[in-house]
Structure 1
């Protein structure tokens, strides 16, 4: 199965910060934030010969997490302006 690891990372970080943004409990707003963030981030797919460790390293990479968090915050600002 082909997976977009950027989407996995966005979902993980969004779940980590959800408590600070009560409006994200609404699935529609949460999906809007995910969509906006993912549209502004490059997709990331791995070849079949890449180890699980390398995939996990992508998810845990500090620089990638910061970039994703920045896009999520930008997406939250867009969604909250349109509430």
Structure 2
């Protein structure tokens, strides 16, 4: 099965940092964050001949984690603004 290892790294990063932000954590918002971050990062696929240690090294690379964290933080900011605006619109309609 073909896997985008950047997607795995983004998912792990979101899981690690989302609790530090005051943002909606519904599936739609989390998927939006993931999509925005992934669209701003290069996809990474490994050949079938690549051993597990190289794949693990990719996931543990410190500089890569920092880059992914930056893109996830940017995505959280974008989604938090969008979800706040949509929430405000819903509240105004209900009043």
Q: TM-score, normalised by structure 2?
A: 0.83
What runs of 5+ residues in structure 2 fail to find an aligned partner?
A: 84-95
Q: Distance in 2 between matches of 1:7 and 1:63?
A: 16
Map 1:43-62 to 2 at 5 A. 43-62=43-62
Partner of 2:92: none
Moved over 4 A (4+): none
Q: TM-score, normalised by structure 1?
A: 0.95
Aligned length: 83
Q: Distance in 1 between matches of 2:28 and 2:41?
A: 20
What's the C-alpha RMSD, in Å, of the aligned pairs? 1.0
Bigger Rg, which one: 2
- By how many angstroms is 1:25 displaced? 2.3
